[in-house]
Amino acid sequence: MDARTVIPIFLVGLLLLMVIPCTASVTFSSSTPQIITKGDTLSLNGIGATNGTVALWVVGKSYIDRQVLIPDIKGNYTTTINSVDTRQYSRGQYAFVIQDPGPDRRLDIEYRIEDNDDIILQNRGKTFADIGARENLKASLVPLISAFSSTAANPNSDDIFIPYYFFVEDPSISFDHIADPAKSQLSGVITGDRIVLAGSTNINPRDMLQAEIRDSTSGSLVAETTITVEPGLTVNRWAWILDNPKLLPGSYRVTVWRPNAFVNCSESALLTVLPPAVMTTASGSNTTSNTPWTSDPLLPFIIIIGLALVIASILFASRNR
């Protein structure tokens, strides 16, 4: 087989030996289970590195990186991947791959980038695969590993590799209780009533969001706050509760965003505040809620019948005198 191929053989080479028990392992926290959001800062913690120095590979769509980590005397190690790095990730499947040096305590497999952006995979400094440019790396790693694992045998190395898969998403924020998705219109509220603005996000728990309410006509700021993202079972949550909003009747724009982020993320929705005497019916029309004749359709008939009974009682009493 020609050494140069558009199929990312190096990925298969990295993962060939995953059937062999790997000494070192790693755990990492993510925005939601197995999902990392672009712009997140990640902390990775590993244990069991009894063979000495380990390497952490990050591989995915058009992306490859490798860093060498030195564990402590107990075999524990840690590293941080900052937001500058994760904002370079593309949407799709990625893998953290832990490279354990094996019994010889030496990391054999490494890579280098040529001037033409080709990725060269090496074993102790000797090239054994030229996989082409980084743009040839695919977004989905599992099919590649399954299809080409038989071509990745490398008997000249005792390095051990184990992958930890995850997906990369763009950061997103959404609102609950959208009455009109086409207009991003929230359900209306009555002026003076308690307002609960809430929604979901894939941004890391305990990250901070900024939120504000502005008059949709003048753009003037009415209220603002900072919100802490709370963890959820499948999706993280945010909420802004205004117990005494003091919003006058009118139309307002609510905006929530992640401040000071390398990857911008913002979402807005319209909020209509109605006068106390007005409520919106299911058909979308307004009715006056404080008019007694419309508050109960049977009320006029009850009053008429009551008056008739009173008159009849008076007439009956006068005849019996």
Give the CATH number for residue 265.
2.60.40.10
Average pLDDT over residues 281-299: 48
* Amino acid sitting at position 115: D
Give the pLDDT of residue 137: 72
- On whether both 63 and 130 belong to a single domain, the answer is yes
Token readout for 6 is 């558009």
C-beta contacts of 13-16 below 8 A and 24+ residues apart: 13/109, 13/121, 13/129, 13/152, 13/154, 14/57, 14/59, 14/97, 14/99, 14/109, 14/161, 14/163, 15/95, 15/97, 15/145, 15/149, 15/152, 15/161, 15/163, 16/149, 16/152, 16/153, 16/154, 16/161
Under a CB-based contact definition with an 8 Å cutoff, are residues 113 and 119 in contact?
Answer: yes
Q: Is residue 3 part of a domain?
A: no
Among 152, 169, 186, the domain boundary falls at: 169
Contacts of 262 (CB under 8 A, 6+ apart): 39, 83, 84, 87
**Residue 117 shares a structural domain with residue 219:** no
Q: What is the pLDDT of residue 319?
A: 62
Closest listed residue to residue 206, CA positions, set 229, 240, 233: 229
The predicted-structure confidence for 235-247, as pLDDT tens digits, reads as follows 899 999 999 888 9
pLDDT higher than threshold 90 for residue 118: no
The closest alpha carbon to 83, from 266, 265, 263, 264, belongs to 263
Same domain, 137 and 185: no
CA distance 283 to 271: 18
Question: Exposed/middle/buried for 229, CB within 10 Å: 0-12, 13-18, 19+?
Answer: buried
Ranges 27-31, 87-91, 255-259, most confident: 255-259
Cα distances from 223 to residues 199, 246, 252, in angstroms, run 18, 10, 11
pLDDT confidence tier of residue 20, bands split at 50, 70 and 90 = very low
In a domain, 311, yes or no: no
Name, in order, each residue with C-beta under 8 angstroms of 200's C-beta and a sequence gap of 6 or more: 173, 174, 176, 232, 235, 236, 237, 238
Task: Note the pLDDT of residue 211.
Answer: 97
| Of the candidates 224, 300, 269, 11, the residue with the CA atom closest to the CA atom of residue 136 | 11
Supply the pLDDT for residue 233.
82
Task: Note whether 161 and 22 are same-domain residues.
Answer: yes
Residue 303 located in a structural domain: no
134 touches 65 (CB < 8 A):
no
Clarify whether residues 15 and 141 are in a common domain.
yes
Q: How far apart (Å, rounded) are the C-alpha atoms in residues 126 and 281?
A: 76
The contacts of residue 315 (CB under 8 Å, 6+ apart) are none
Query: What pLDDT score was predicted for residue 18?
Result: 40
Tokens found for residue 199: 């929604």
Q: Name, in order, each residue with C-beta under 8 angstroms of 125's C-beta and a sequence gap of 6 or more.
A: none
pLDDT of residue 150: 33
Residue 228 has pLDDT above 50, yes or no: yes
Q: Is residue 315 part of a domain?
A: no
Are residues 105 and 23 in contact, defined by beta-carbon separation less than 8 angstroms?
A: no
* pLDDT (0 to 100) of residue 10: 45
Is 126 in the same domain as 13?
A: yes
Pair (147, 47) in one structural domain: yes
Counting every residue written for the chain, the total comes to 321
* Residue 214 sits in the same domain as residue 277: yes
Contact residues for 118 (Cβ-Cβ < 8 A; gap 6+): 130, 131, 132, 133
DSSP state of 150: G
- Do 137 and 22 belong together in one domain? yes
Residue 317 pLDDT: 64
- Residue 37 and residue 204 in contact, taking contact as beta carbons nearer than 8 Å: yes
Are 264 and 277 contained in the same domain?
Answer: yes
Number of domains in the chain: 2
151 and 78, same domain (yes or no): yes
Q: What is the mean pLDDT of residues 113-119?
A: 84
Nearest in space to 154 (alpha carbons), one of 264, 316, 3: 3
Last residue of a domain, one of 111, 134, 169: 169
For residue 290, being part of any structural domain is answered with no
Listed residues 169, 189, 224: the one ending a domain: 169
pTM: 0.69
**What domain range includes position 217?**
173-284
The pLDDT of residue 163 is 81
Does the pLDDT at position 142 exceed 60? no
pLDDT, averaged across the chain = 79
pLDDT score recorded for residue 229: 95
Q: Are residues 177 and 159 in the same domain?
A: no
Please check the confidence at residue 141 and state whether its pLDDT lies above 70: no
